[in-house]
Homo-oligomer: A and B are copies of this chain.
Amino acid sequence: MSKLLTPEQLETELRTIGAERYHNLHPFHKMLHSGGMSKKQVQAWALNRYFYQCSIPRKDLALMANMEDKAMREEWRQRYFDHDGIGEDEGGIERWLKLTTALGLDRNYVISTAGILAGTRFAVEAYIHFVRDKPLLEGIASSLTEMFAPKIHEERISGMLASYDFVDESMVGYFRERLTQAPRDVNFALAYVKKEAKTVPEQQAVLNALRFKTDVLWSQLDALYLAYVSPGMIPPGAYDPDA
């Protein structure tokens, strides 16, 4: 890419990245929502994904710490509240723990993150570091996987409820909430990058930030697939459902 794109062309390029690299294309995701997994495999997924969920507020706070504009911080802070909770809302982390508990995992073990895969940890921490260390524009652009999230959440809700007798409505509350939260959030972030990426290098950086984020999500499923699906190589120290 060597020519400046219009804002609409930039959005098209961003959506193309999603169509090619979002983790709804990963075999692990397809297996999960189609009912192809054992309860133990779903447990391993929920346990590992907890580390992503509980790290999102840290990611958003790191991003907000880079915002000099008070109004922008006020715009963004709803995301922080969505995950850590505020007032009547218990927040997304607590909703995720409802899922892990209902799957039979010990709450304190989940919160300790002691059993997660190194691949999970390194990917999630890469996301926090990226947002903290890169220019604000790229940090915001890295959130744009939310453009593609409602579809995957819908697939998870309907697929998991239909496919597993150990999954009920009380366990999918996290995803239901995200169905309305993610589109709201993405409006601001997408408008921001379309407006602020004014040069070719900035547009390239925005596209690369989204590619980076799709890698963050994809490589978490890679690590889960290797350890818990095929060939089933659980690394030293990671959660072993049969131990």
**Contact A237–B119 (Cβ < 8 Å):** no
Residue from the list B125, B219, B236 in contact with A21, Cβ < 8 A: B236
A53: Cβ under 8 A from any B Cβ = no
* Given known A-B contacts A119-B119, A230-B231, A231-B231, A236 and B223 have beta carbons under 8 A apart: no
Those of A212-243 within 8 Å (CB) of chain B: 214-216, 218-219, 222-223, 225-227, 230-231, 233, 235-237
Q: What number of copies of this chain does the assembly contain?
A: 2
Q: Indicate if the CB atoms of B118 and A219 lie closer than 8 Å.
A: yes
- Contact residues in B for A218 (Cβ distance below 8 Å): 118, 235-236
Q: Shortest distance in angstroms between A7's beta carbon and chain B's nearest beta carbon?
A: 25
Q: Does A129 make an interface contact (CB < 8 A)?
A: yes
Contact with B along A161-192 (1 / 0, CB 8 A): 00000000000000000000000000000000
User: Cα distance A125–B118 when bound, in Å?
Assistant: 13
Q: A146 to B112: give the CA distance in the assembly, Å.
A: 29
B236 close to A20 (CB less than 8 A)? yes
CA distance A230 to B126 in the complex (A): 25
Report B-chain residues with C-beta under 8 Å of the C-beta of A123. 118-119, 122
Cβ of A211 under 8 Å from chain B: yes
- At the interface, yes or no: A135 with Cβ under 8 Å from chain B? no
From the candidates B211, B223, B237, name the one contacting A237 in the complex (CB within 8 A): B211
A122-156: CB near B (< 8 Å → 1, else 0) gives 11011001000000000000000000000000000
- Taken residue by residue from 82 to 94, chain A's Cβ proximity to chain B (1 for < 8 Å, 0 otherwise) reads as 0000000000000
| Alpha-carbon distance between A226 and B230 when the two chains are bound, in angstroms | 8
Would you call A27 an interface residue if the criterion is a C-beta within 8 Å of the partner chain's C-beta atoms?
Answer: yes
Question: Would B222 and A236 count as touching, CB distance under 8 A?
Answer: no
- Complex-state Cα separation, A21 to B118, whole angstroms: 12
- Give chain B nearest CB distance to A28 CB in angstroms: 9
- Give the CA-CA distance A226 to B119 in the complex, in Å: 12
A222 touches B219 (CB 8 A): no
Shortest distance in angstroms between A41's beta carbon and chain B's nearest beta carbon? 15
Within 8 A of B (CB), among A24-63: 25, 27
Interface residues of chain A, those whose CB is within 8 Å of chain B, are 20-21, 25, 27, 117-119, 121-123, 125-126, 129, 211, 214-216, 218-219, 222-223, 225-227, 230-231, 233, 235-237
Extra A-B contacts (11), CB below 8 Å, given A122-B123, A126-B126: A118-B123, A118-B215, A118-B222, A121-B126, A122-B125, A122-B216, A214-B236, A218-B235, A225-B226, A226-B226, A231-B231
